[in-house]
A and B are shown apart, each in its own frame.
Chain A
Amino acid sequence: MSQTEQLSYIAGQAADARLNLELETDGMVINLGPQHPATHGTLRLVARLEGEEVVEAEPIMGYMHRGYEKLAEVRTYLQVTALINRIDWLGSFANEVPFILGAEQLMEIEVPDRARWIRTLLFELSRIANISLFLGEMGLQLGAVTPAFFAFRDREFVLNQIEQVTGGRFHPNFDRIGGLKDDLPAGWIAETKSVMKRMRTFCDEIEDLLVGNEVFETRMRGIGVIPAEVGLSYGLSGANIRASGVDWDLRRDEPVGLVYDQLDWKVWTHPDGDSFARYWVRVQEVREATKMVEQILDGLPSGPIMAKVPRIIKVPKGEAYIQTENPLGAMGYYIISKGDLTPFRLKIRSASFNNISITPWLLKGTLVPDIITILGSLYFILGDIDR
């Protein structure tokens, strides 16, 4: 080997070594969000990748923190109701109910029957409005645009019904300590019954569109499996835990103040625990909710809608914690009152915060495209996470 050849050999080796050094894959960190269409708001997800595989993922919350717990301390009970509408903005009425029930428990108020029935009715309507949007949006996460339009179209009917009663499409502010703000307007019951029929057709349509679809099934089945014990240890609730085969529903287990024990309905569970199971359980939940609404409309008792309540509401000294099964999962309010016009402390336990906490465990070892599917199927609302 001549000297020139030797030199060029060494240079080549050095170039190779340099190239290897440059190509050394050290994992890549990607930021999903805070502004990403797939995150329903401002959730930031920092994921460390090894090729296409997620090694570590961490959700970073708090971009939408509005400090509701502190704001509630300087507001009267009537004003807090208007405020907490904005926590889970898709099913607003459901946010008010546990807070009002807690305050009523402290004040020891007996709520009239009709108010309790209408409360349950609006609770279920807001569940339909909330989850039906998820049913369409899940298709959007996978690139199917049609279901989202279907969902927005049919959800509008439910929102119209809510608006006719409460005056607000998104923020009803209708629940009051001791009962409700107003009664149902004439002709509303018949209209709601036809809307419920429509929502069941919507469920059938969405099942035909997505549940049988091959692309949808391959992207959803076996992806993001949550075993029951892991889900329970992370504090999952709502449809997410029911999809893991845990038969747990606060509506049936502790029907505080609402009339679920007088209705004929079923808690749906799915044994798989994957993304598809979470979707399927929610489709059934909307169906079940439409049936419940019809039963309530048939059995609505007559009577007053407001108990005798002092004009200036002062909640006596004490503590109360009330949890209800909201569209996103278990939501609870811990109210501490010192006998003032305002709550002394209000702790809000919202479902989405706990549901999103499982993501570091769940996303480990999944592929990048599946992040969106799994996040979508967990179904959280950013207002519910950050409060």
Chain B
Amino acid sequence: MKTKKIRMPGFFKGLKVTFMTMLKTLFPGGLKKPVPNPSAGAHTVQYPRVKELPPTRARGVIALHTENCTACMLCARECPDWCIYIEGHKELAPPRREGGKPRQVNKLDRFDIDFALCMYCGICVEVCPFDALFWSPEFEYSEPKIDDLLHDSKRLTNWMDTVPSFTEYEDGSEQKVRAVPDPVEKV
């Protein structure tokens, strides 16, 4: 007589998977020395108390290095949502060398980014030819009023403190690691 092979029904097989996951979550240190520590085994964190840091390249908020900005309007033109507002004027600065002609410099009057409209594509940071815009992974700037999401140049400059330095590249890359400019004193 052929003996019928006893197969574990799929239902119980599934229960086993769930049970093992529960054990792994409850005892992340292993079952040999079962110390229950579900907060370490869980994949989530208790947000306001524990914070997960986004990677350095994360597109959280745009920081402005005002010294480098020449009000060339490239970012405002390339922005798909037109959420960057720039106003500037030309000014005569003292000449660099003795006896030279006075230089013409572009002064920034207004640099606003409306984060309510921004879609975080990063095109403005990419097209900036003078290294004035940087991404910061900071993300906690939600506001009760939508108008307050319009960050002016002062607020954008303050984000410069949170900009992390650029990461090194993986082997075989020919990219050059860029440097983040030193923050100027706060306005």
Contact = CB atoms under 8 A, between A and B. Distances in A.
A173 B171 CA distance: 23
Contacts of A163: 54-55, 57-58
Contact of B175 (A79, A160, A183): A183
Give the bracket for the number of chain B residues in contact with chain A.
35 or more
Contacts of B16: 208
Given A82-B119, A212-B14, A302 B172 contact: yes
Interface stretch (A164-172, A255-263, A275-283): A164-172
A75 B80 contact: yes
A165 B170 CA distance: 11
A166 B58 CA distance: 8
A166, A188, A208, A217 pick with most chain B CB within 10 angstroms:
A208
A245 to B, nearest CB: 25
Nearest to B127: A78
Interface string A75-119: 110110011000000000000000000000000000000100000
User: Chain A's interface: helix, strand, loop or mixed, by majority?
Assistant: helix
A142 to B, nearest CB: 12
Contacts of A165: 57
A183 B178 CA distance: 12
Interface string B1-43: 0000000011101101110010000000000000000000001
Nearest to B135: A167
Contacts of B10: 211-214, 216-217
Interface residues of A, number: 46
Interface string B163-178: 0000111111111000
Interface string B56-85: 111100000000000000000010100000
A164 B127 CA distance: 21
Interface in A271-301: 300-301
Contact of A173 (B13, B55, B121): B121
Contact of A208 (B13, B120, B123): B13
Given A163-B54, A188-B170, A182 B11 contact: no
A79 B170 contact: no
User: Chain B's interface: helix, strand, loop or mixed, by majority?
Assistant: loop
B169 A186 contact: yes
A167 B122 contact: yes
Given A171-B120, A173-B122, A208-B16, A302 B57 contact: no
A278 B60 CA distance: 38
Contacts of B56: 185
A153 B168 contact: no
Nearest to B79: A79
A187 B167 CA distance: 10
Contacts of B122: 167-168, 173
B87 interface: no
A305 B173 contact: yes
Contacts of B59: 167-168
B49 to A, nearest CB: 20
Contact of B55 (A79, A160, A211): A160
Nearest to B119: A82
A215 interface: yes
Contact of A164 (B57, B126, B174, B175): B57
A256 B90 CA distance: 50
Contact of B168 (A76, A171, A181, A185): A185
Nearest to B57: A167
Contact of A153 (B43, B80, B121, B171): B43
A78 B18 CA distance: 46
A230 interface: no
B84 to A, nearest CB: 13
A267 B88 CA distance: 58
Interface of B: 9-11, 13-14, 16-18, 21, 43, 54-59, 78, 80, 119-123, 126-127, 135, 167-175
Interface of A: 75-76, 78-79, 82-83, 114, 146, 150, 153, 156, 160, 163-168, 171, 173, 181-189, 205, 208-217, 300-305
Given A168-B58, A215-B11, 19 more contacts: A78-B78, A114-B173, A163-B58, A164-B55, A165-B57, A166-B57, A167-B57, A167-B58, A168-B122, A182-B175, A183-B173, A186-B170, A209-B14, A213-B10, A214-B11, A216-B10, A217-B10, A302-B172, A305-B175
